[in-house]
Structure 1
């Protein structure tokens, strides 16, 4: 009864004019007062008003200064299963909260309703910390710093904990606050997932799924980025989006296994939106069912049929640590930009077949579907026919397993109310597959698809010709599954597949594949293979001439060559060479994966005369490394650029969380089987958006459009006459092997001529070096240098320099062996430790040896030995940034003994300046 009354009061407050007036007039004042960290009683009054007016708490339900059962303390504020501890300043008192909160939560849990999680909040007004008990142990589940510019966000953050009714509009901000990295929902779930993982992480089937997931991420990012922490994060997100898919249809989630496997939606005639995948492993652990149910319950608060944009991408981005987001390149396309590209590229949405080969969370799919639906309604097409057309016209592929889960639900959300008019069977055409088809291998006159089996088993082999026939392939999969259920002999399966219509050669290959699957089944590594085979072979089907698209649209991965693993570097180089897009030489490190998406996407997925519309780096408009794309000189497929948008003057687009765009952006439009140079002009957009996820209306209000001459191609021929006087700084990498700090010494202290040093650990360290212990020990002082980095330069002045160990003597770079031979024992020991770790963790070649020695890396392109000569004056400027900062250094600041100032790669330097007026000591 009490809960029902609370819901009624809350609902009335949310809908009434009084609530709207309070939120608009009073809530900003409350948040402003809280941000000032008011005194204890003033804060109590603010919290009480927040609970009563914001969440419908009755005065009689709130308990103040409630004594614990054992009289060992008092709870400041209690409301149902929530206890609130008021503090003066959590920056000083957080330790006290951690000590006392377990007692408060244990006391409150005695009187809470069965199945209700007791949560503790600690606040000084400016900051709120949330905790719960997990098996009697205090677990932090969330943190929120109040934002006086957005007072409503405080209520949004608290709603998962306190809101009793489904009233929340599913905006990107609301979804990210409710389920993102700092949300209460994620905090609680993450603690439980860690416990479940410790229980079943070594189970054979779970380990197989973890390894297969890791292999797919290597294809996505071109390097080893998988970790247990990221796997748990992806598990949380996948469970959440599968629950959202069920909520779109207003389905009750009873059996967690039904929801995670997709059976719940399949019973309603929707297939392909949810499948059994890598992330159902919690069901094998004790308490896994409860975790899934609790996460599913969190989604009920959102009115999901009111979705206007792709809200799931903001949720995914909000879960990734900011540093990790930069490393992974996890920045999705803003909705306003996707909507504009869709409008320009798809003039006939009811007729054109659309494919996004790297669909991510499904932003382009969402807007393509909305455009198709609007066109269908205007043309008077019946709703059921519109839904069927959507399933036949708008497709997506992505190799990232979590992106696919997001995109499938986004595809479903795009239908809105039309989901009620779906046909008896609706198949969501979004597939987990490798659109670049790295696993497609020529085999005589045909080809085969190789599917990796971790950790070291031979790959599964599937005939590409059979995979391109969807009906025959599904029948073959059915035979493979039937054979595993009955433990049939491989010969019987070969015969059955041949009778289904496969060629003799294809049936024989699948008979051998079944023999491998049977061994995996008997080894307990079975339940994932139908999902893997069905999805990874979809690109082969979509590349069949009868199934190709009229429009290829999207935002492909921007991954430059230098950031790829050794294996992926070789693959990309050979692939670009096959299209005559490899430039090499000094531009090799700038070659980009997105160029391959342009060429291979057009060749394999686009019909003759079809159109490409891809979001690309701005460099695609004029950089030499993209010249082959622009001039139509590609081999194997012809694509002429028919239009372009310059977005370099639009801010922010990507990377708004860091305060600036990640890189300048453009959109290129191309047409297959057409030749010719780019147009003489392109469209330039200019304007400052209110935020990165601005709406279409907000973007239209601030963006101006103009026609401008196509950017002049950059060349390596015309260069500044000063170019030869400047060089990039040295590549002092890994940073923790070179940059140092003085280590604590014992009673005897360090030697003056060989101070004890330790490699400096910092936020700019990159994987895999973040997990490598830095060297430590005494090093001869003659090798301890002062180094200028990008952080050392500001306008008009040189800031503090950093200390580093630089193994250079008389213009030569020393190795551990050569340092030892010259009698430098301390440096030799330092380098011996560093070289051992470098050989273990650096990128390897095909022979398993490091592709480059540590010494060669430090002196890459002779950038270190070039600084051996002294110079009385040097000009330094930062390597990159929105505002380039320069400084001219002379005199003692330029000549740090014993061998002068050294410059790191974040700076570009000019040395041996011949003259300088005395008043120009520093210039910027």
Structure 2
């Protein structure tokens, strides 16, 4: 087995990635040592900015069409006699609109003007006027073609200045109370990830060692945010493995989604469990809500490399693509082995002590240990949201009752609905009976039996063809066509801008709905949530 030359391999790796001169590699400083032969041949200067930013953007919230960075200021110590918020909670918020965050130079000018304005006892209107002038001068100084030069402030910039005016009041009060110590610094750092992701991905290459933190070791606040975000990205694994979900999987997905351009390369150091354990199963699929990854190669550093990390590790290489591709046995792998004199050994010592075994690609051990042989026969059910566009209740009309071939139904409403759907009117109308089907939710399933099925408008034919309003009308189904027409219009008018799917595509995401047709005569179902999922048997 040959001794590896990490510097030479790094040179080969980078040269094959077609890096643009302005591309930035996000990495720990230690990784730069392996790139020294490449960097020494550069023609220009090198600048490596380091920010203590929120790479996952957990501090970013969306307000209608705008995003904003929110910094939550801890309350003052008890007995300090400081004002805090008017409600007495003592927890202020500093909000910074995206229109400033996505331009670092403008953001720094605005923060500095707020700081100096507070020291000069400026009022909010005075600060807003100063921010307006700074913004106009900033964009006027940018060299552009005369026909496209910005004239005055845009509506987005005016809203941003007004929001910063509100933030200035809190910022000013914190300074007067002696609590303005790091917030300008924190704001600059936290705004950088929003700037880096503003263009929808700009980096050719992302290299890093993301945090390895299991769900059970996270703080309560982080657990809530992690669970919501990882479920929305389709990387969360429930059941008995829910406490073993790791932050590094979500971090990898979000890094590729937010910062990597299409066709860009990603190389991350992860625990070896990412290749072999059930809590990383969805991560290995390469298909997520916001991004698709093709896994190209893996390197392993298991117990045969000592000392290194507290647990066995690996390196995964992936490419951002339009179509994802899961980890398979076709991935070329390298297995490292050897004994190091100490951790963080320099490159020359590592090259002399470590060897690499070129392997043809064998991920046979990357299975769900202890899993059932029937495991691949199961799949996730359809996500029918918003529910009021699908779930219905029947209504009787008159003494003769409803038409049995086309019952009259209305949207079933729930107190669990979220904005904007909770404030919208429901749907009602006649729907052909073949499109009214029982639907099982998690709450419908008890151990070994079905308790309470719901009824839903399911626009799928008996053969599994998903219908839109147009295709339904073309086939002569007037009732389901009218229902879908109203449902599609409601979805299009109120879905978030980031969701480009049609209602038909959303309900049949990855074939989760159409794959259930033709309906099998016997099925086993279980709820996805819960510590001990127990099945129920269905017979058609």
Q: TM-score, normalised by structure 2?
A: 0.57
Q: CA offsets, 1:352-411, max 9 Å, x none?
A: 623326x4xx3224544x3443232xxxx3xxx2x2xx22xx4xxxxxxxxxxxxxxxxx
Does 596-605 or 632-641 show the bigger shift?
Answer: 632-641
Other structure's SS at 2:236 match? coil
1:634 and 1:562, CA in 2 relative to 1: closer, same or farther beyond 3 A? same
Residue among 21, 46, 64 paired with 1:351: 21
Of residues 33, 53, 65 in structure 2, which corresponds to 1:445?
65
Q: Write out per-residue CA displacement over residues 148-195 of structure 1, whole angstroms, 9 at most, x where no aligned residue.
A: xxxxxxxxxxxxxxxxxxxxxxxxxxxxxxxxxxxxxxxxxxxxxxxx
Tell me if structure 1 keeps the 8 A contact 2:334–2:358. Answer: yes
> Counterparts of 1:78-97 in structure 2 under 5 Å?
none
Q: Name the counterpart of 1:697.
A: 348
Q: Aligned partners of 1:438 and 1:648: how far apart in 2? A: 32
Partner residue, 2:214: 560
Counterpart of 1:545 (choices 179, 185, 199) is: 199
- Answering whether residue 137 of structure 2 is matched by residue 470 of structure 1, we say no
Cα displacement (A) at 1:704: 2.1
| Superposed displacement of residue 339, structure 1 | 5.8
1:677 pairs with 311, 326, 332, which one?
Answer: 326
1:345: Cα distance to partner?
Answer: 4.5
Q: What is the deviation of 1:584?
A: 0.9
- Residues of 2 paired with 1:352 and 1:689: CA distance? 36
Quickly say closer, same or farther: Cα 1:530–1:339, change in 2 above 3 A: farther
Q: Find the residue that maps to 2:56 and give its secondary structure.
A: coil
| Change in 2 beyond 3 A, CA 1:623/1:367 | same
Q: What secondary structure sits across from 2:178 in the alignment?
A: coil
Match of 2:41 among 375, 378, 389: 375
2:271 matches 1:637:
no
CA contact (8 A) 2:212 2:246 kept: yes
2:272 alignment partner in structure 1: 618
Pick aligned residue for 1:435 from 55, 60, 72: 55
Partner-residue secondary structure (3-state), 2:115: helix
**Which of 479, 483, 487 is 2:121 aligned to?**
487
Q: Does 1:710 align with 2:330?
A: no
CA distance in 1 between counterparts of 2:348 and 2:294 reads: 32
Deviation at 1:520, TM superposition (A): 1.1
**How far is 1:567 from its partner?**
1.4
**Structure 2 residue aligned with 1:599:** 253
Which 4+ stretches in 1 moved above 3 angstroms? 336-345, 365-368, 716-720
Q: Cα offset for 1:340?
A: 7.8
Q: Distance in 1 between matches of 2:9 and 2:56?
A: 23
Offset of residue 476 of structure 1? 1.3
- 1:806-865 deviations in Å (ceiling 9; x for gaps): xxxxxxxxxxxxxxxxxxxxxxxxxxxxxxxxxxxxxxxxxxxxxxxxxxxxxxx99xxx
Q: Is the 8 A contact 1:618 1:665 kept in 2?
A: yes
Structure 2 unaligned residues grouped into runs of 5+:
76-89, 137-152, 374-530, 533-540
Which structure carries more helix by proportion?
A: 1
Please say if residues 69 and 96 of structure 2, whose CA atoms lie closer than 8 Å, have aligned partners that are also in contact: yes
Distance 1:682 1:612 in 2: 16
Partner of residue 31, structure 2: 364
CA contact (8 A) 2:200 2:258 kept: no
How far has the Cα of 1:608 moved from its partner?
1.0
1:375 is paired with a residue whose SS is coil
- Seen in structure 2, the aligned counterparts of structure 1 residues 650 and 698 have a Cα distance that, compared at 3 Å, is farther
Change beyond 3 A, Cα 1:340–1:556: farther
Change in Cα spacing, 1:460 to 1:718, as seen in structure 2 (3 Å) is closer
Decide whether aligned partners of structure 1 residues 431 and 339 sit closer, same or farther in structure 2, where only a CA change above 3 A counts.
Answer: farther
Deviation (angstroms), 1:491: 1.0
Asked whether 1:662 is paired with 2:330, we answer no
User: In structure 1, what is the Cα distance between the partners aligned to 2:299 and 2:22?
Assistant: 22
| Counterpart Cα distance in 1 of 2:244 and 2:8 | 29
Equivalent residue pairs, number: 332
Looking at structure 2, the residues matched to 634 and 349 of structure 1 have their Cα atoms a distance apart, in angstroms, of 25
Question: Structure 1 residues 341, 619: closer, same or farther in 2, change over 3 A?
Answer: farther
Q: 8 Å contact 2:300–2:313 — kept in the other structure?
A: yes
- For 2:172 and 2:240, the matched residues in 1 are separated by 50
Give me the whole-angstrom Cα distance separating, in 1, the residues matched to 2:216 and 2:331. Answer: 32
Compared CA separation, residues 552 and 685, structure 1 to 2 (3 A): same
Does the CA-based 8 Å contact 2:294-2:326 persist in structure 1?
yes
| CA distance, structure 1, for counterparts of residue 8 and residue 209 of structure 2 | 13
Contact 1:356 1:365 (8 Å CA) reproduced: no
Contact in 2 for aligned 1:632/1:677 (Cα 8 Å): yes
Q: How does 1:265-664 map to 2 (within 5 A)?
A: 342-343=10-11, 345-347=13-15, 351=21, 353-356=23-26, 359=28, 362-365=29-32, 367-368=34-35, 370-376=36-42, 381=43, 385=44, 387=45, 390-391=46-47, 394=48, 429-455=49-75, 456-499=90-133, 500-501=135-136, 503-545=157-199, 548-654=202-308, 661-664=309-312
Rg larger in 1 or in 2?
1
Q: Distance in 1 between matches of 2:34 and 2:251?
A: 21
Matches within 5 A, 1:28-427: 342-343=10-11, 345-347=13-15, 351=21, 353-356=23-26, 359=28, 362-365=29-32, 367-368=34-35, 370-376=36-42, 381=43, 385=44, 387=45, 390-391=46-47, 394=48
Q: Deviations over 1:739-759 (max 9, x none)?
A: xxxxxxxxxxxxxxxxxxxxx
Cα distance in 2, alignment partners of residues 340 and 639 from structure 1: 26
- For residue 681 of structure 1, report the CA deviation from its aligned partner: 3.1
- Mapping for residues 759-774 of structure 1, pairs under 5 Å: none
SS of 1:545 mapped into structure 2: coil
SS at match of 2:325: coil
Question: Quick one: structure 1 residues 346 and 352, their matched pair in 2 at CA, closer, same or farther if it must change by over 3 Å?
Answer: farther
Query: What's the CA shift for 1:606?
Result: 0.8
Give the SS at the match of 1:457: coil
Shift of the 457–557 alpha-carbon distance from structure 1 to 2, 3 Å rule, reads: same
Change (3 A) 1:695 1:479: closer
For residue 51 of structure 2, give the secondary structure of its aligned residue in structure 1: strand
Q: Alpha carbons of 1:439 and 1:682: their partners in 2 closer, same or farther (altered >3 Å)?
A: same
Q: How much does 1:538 deviate?
A: 1.2
Q: Aligned partners of 2:263 and 2:307: how far apart in 1?
A: 30
CA RMSD of aligned residues (A): 2.7
Q: CA offsets, 1:473-510, max 9 Å, x none?
A: 12212321231221100111112212324611100000
> Does structure 1 conserve the Cα–Cα contact (< 8 Å) formed by 2:294 and 2:319?
yes
Where 1:473 maps in the other structure, the secondary structure is: helix
Cα 1:366–1:491, aligned 2, differ >3 Å: closer, same or farther? farther
Inter-CA distance 680–642: structure 2 relative to 1 (3 Å threshold): closer
1:546–1:587 CA distance, 2 compared to 1 (3 A): closer
Q: Secondary structure, in 3 states, of the residue corresponding to 2:324?
A: coil
**1:475 aligned counterpart, secondary structure:** helix
Task: Decide whether aligned partners of structure 1 residues 595 and 619 sit closer, same or farther in structure 2, where only a CA change above 3 A counts.
Answer: same
Contact 1:545 1:607 in 2 (8 A): no
